[in-house]
Amino acid sequence: MTYCVAMAVEQGLVFLSDTRTNAGVDHISTSRKMAVFETPGERVLVLLVAGNLAITQATLQVLTEPQDAARPTIWNAPTLVEAARVVGEAVREVHRRDAEALERFNVDFNCSFILGGQIGNHPMRLFQVYAAGNFIETSSVNPYFQIGESKYGKPIIDRVLTPRTPLDEAAKCALISMDSTLRSNLSVGLPLDLLVYERDSLRVTRYASLDSSNAYFQMIHSTWGERLRQVFGEIPDPLWTDEGNVPRHERADLPCAPRAAHDGQAPDPRPAQTLAQAQPNAAAIVPRMPRDG
């Protein structure tokens, strides 16, 4: 019951998450799914979480309250790769401690994370961390990650986002992606956490918590729906004619299924046709169907 998306473009990073954790008939609850680790002038890291809320909160507790002072943390990791390893090891620690007990109650160890940001003069980076603690990084081919209910908001990102997309346009794309998800899935809900990081700033300069009263998000919601209907209406309807301008429903070579003799009516006297006989240029051939009786 989550949707989080993060994007990496040349000008910076975009992070967006919803807050809904439960959407029962009479029980709706929320929880923040974005955690920000900021030391102004030195590092900004953002962690998005999805999956079993108890597991992700336990992982955050390990990250923010380490038991071993000698172990590296997100606050002192020298690079983003090391920070991703810290998150992965925290996930494994929670798994070692809780997975067996959860399995006895038929609870899957379900969690995923997105970690991104910048440390010092190192370049910005963006990673997705899996439940096994391993991780992958964005690339010029795939400059974004999604976790949670990703399918509804994916098409707009695939059509719009590239590494050269301006930062504000990337933020707009993320919000439209979230709006599409909110429209189609009750398990994702407001308010939203939006953080836009400007490359090399090493501090949080753009953050907003968006609820139903936010004028810009309401504009996104209404305008996107209206423009989709407008473009849909401008696309021509199918033209149901062939080269001879004969309506398709009058074609003699319509591939009808043969009628069985025992259904109360006489069998069709016409010989059965294969698809290749009905449509000589068809690439596939349908086997001849036997006639009953």
Q: What integer is the mean pLDDT of 141-150?
A: 97
pLDDT, tens only, 85-139: 999 999 999 999 999 999 999 999 999 999 999 999 999 999 999 999 999 999 9
Average the pLDDT over 25-33 and give the result.
84
b/e 239-269 (16+ beta carbons within 10 angstroms → b): eeeeeeeeeeeeeeeeeeebeeeeeeeeeee
CA distance 167 to 178: 17
What is this structure's pTM? Answer: 0.84
Contact yes or no for 35/195 (Cβ under 8 A): no
Give the Cα separation of 45 and 37 in Å (integer): 5
**Confidence at 261, pLDDT banded by 50, 70, 90:** low
pLDDT above 50 (res 271): yes
Mean pLDDT is lowest, of 2-6, 68-72, 83-87, 106-110, for 68-72
**Domains of the chain, each with CATH number or no CATH:** 3-221 (3.60.20.10)
pLDDT of residue 278: 46
Q: Give the span between the Cα atoms of 173 and 178, in whole angstroms.
A: 9
- Average pLDDT over the chain reads 88
pLDDT band of residue 267 (cuts 50, 70, 90) is low
Q: Which residues pair with 197 in a beta bridge?
A: 13
Give 266's pLDDT tier (boundaries 50, 70, 90).
low
pLDDT bucket at 293, cuts 50 / 70 / 90: very low
Within 10 angstroms of residue 31's Cβ, the number of other Cβ atoms is 14
Lowest mean pLDDT among 109-118, 144-153, 216-225, 246-255: 246-255
Beta strands in the chain (DSSP E): 3-9, 12-17, 20-23, 28-30, 34-39, 43-51, 111-119, 125-129, 135-137, 144-148, 192-198, 206-210
Q: How far is CA 126 from the centre of its chain?
A: 16
**Confidence tier at 281 by pLDDT (50, 70, 90):** very low
Residue 256 has pLDDT above 80, yes or no: no
pLDDT of residue 275: 42
Above 70 in pLDDT, residue 277? no
What pLDDT is recorded for position 124?
98
Is 60 exceeded by the pLDDT of residue 6? yes
pLDDT at 30 over 60: yes
The predicted structure's pLDDT at residue 245: 60
Does residue 191 have a cis peptide bond before it, meaning omega lies within 30 degrees of 0?
yes
What is the identity of the amino acid at 10?
E
% of the chain exceeding 70 in pLDDT = 83
pLDDT at 288: 46
Above 90 in pLDDT, residue 291? no
